[in-house]
Amino acid sequence: DGGITQSPKYLFRKEGQNVTLSCEQNLNHDAMYWYRQDPGQGLRLIYYSQIVNDFQKGDIAEGYSVSREKKESFPLTVTSAQKNPTAFYLCAAKIGAGANVLTFGAGSRLTVL
Amino acid sequence: GNSVTQMEGPVTLSEEAFLTINCTYTATGYPSLFWYVQYPGEGLQLLLKATKADDKGSNKGFEATYRKETTSFHLEKGSVQVSDSAVYFCALTSTSGTYKYIFGTGTRLKVLA
């Protein structure tokens, strides 16, 4: 089945450590996104990528980094510079230009101890 | 800039009750409008969408009509079930090709048997 796979589902991190969240898609979609979800705040855009080797900052990019070396993969690194990293992280993808539907992964929950 | 405002929850209903979740938006031009649903511990799934004024999106008994004159896209269902308990997100995207989606803060629905 085509879809988006995020891993790990749950992740615990000590303060000061970097952690990388994986996002893989087999939908052959061009655009990929990372969102952060906090209770009562909806979804906030961290980074997005329209094509391979290109990505743009979203509304809350500070403390995060991404790469897009392959069409299928868009990993997110939460660095030690992110002051409040505990959250639910969602990866999404869509076909390309135009107002198309976003397809989401199941999410990764990061907890900083 | 673009924005989405949806009613705060939680909304608690008895099974077979009528559901309305209000959503209004601010946007230039003619955005596409979406309702997504999120079940506990999962990512978001598209529920329905509408791409132009007066369009009605529908799925699984849910409906929403794109009202340009009132800038609204209210979600309705005639008879809710316990299985409809989830968080519902209203969202929009510009048709100008910016690839950015704007989400509301979500409305939690709880349906009691």
Q: Whole-angstrom Cα distance, residue A1 to residue B32?
A: 27
Give pLDDT, residue A48: 94
User: Which residue did the predictor score with more confidence, B63 or B42?
Assistant: B63
pLDDT at B56 over 90: yes
Judge: A101–B95 Cβ closer than 8 Å, yes or no: no
pLDDT at B98 over 70: no
Give pLDDT, residue B100: 80
- What average pLDDT score do residues B10-38 get? 94
**Of all residues in chain B, what percent carry a pLDDT higher than 70?**
96
Judge: B45–A102 Cβ closer than 8 Å, yes or no: no
> Is the Cα torsion angle A111, B4, B7, B12 positive or negative in sign?
negative
Judge: A90–B44 Cβ closer than 8 Å, yes or no: yes
Give pLDDT, residue B97: 60
Give pLDDT, residue B96: 65
Judge: B105–A107 Cβ closer than 8 Å, yes or no: no
* Residue B69 DSSP symbol: T
The 10s digit of each residue's pLDDT in A39-86 is 878 899 999 998 999 999 999 999 999 999 999 999 999 998 888 999
Residue A110: which of A41, A46, A36, A44 has the closest Cα?
A36
Judge: B103–A43 Cβ closer than 8 Å, yes or no: yes
Q: Specify the pairing of strand B19-21 against strand B75-77.
A: antiparallel
**Of all residues in chain A, what percent carry a pLDDT higher than 90?**
73
Q: Whole-angstrom Cα distance, residue A23 to residue A105?
A: 8
- Residue in B99, B100, B103 to test binding to A, most A beta-carbons within 10 Å: B99
> Is the Cα torsion angle A13, A48, B42, A38 positive or negative in sign?
positive
> Which residues does chain B have within 8 Å of residue A107's beta carbon, measured at their own beta carbons?
41-43
Do B93 and B32 form a contact (C-beta atoms < 8 A)? yes
Do A42 and B89 form a contact (C-beta atoms < 8 A)? yes
pLDDT at B102 over 80: yes
Q: How confident is the model at residue A95 (pLDDT cuts 50, 70, 90)?
A: confident
- Residue in B47, B87, B101 to test binding to A, most A beta-carbons within 10 Å: B101
User: Which residue did the predictor score with more confidence, A90 or A83?
Assistant: A90
The 10s digit of each residue's pLDDT in B30-47 is 899 999 999 988 899 999
Do B34 and B51 form a contact (C-beta atoms < 8 A)? no
Residue A74: which of A43, A111, A110, A103 has the closest Cα?
A103
pLDDT at A96 over 80: no
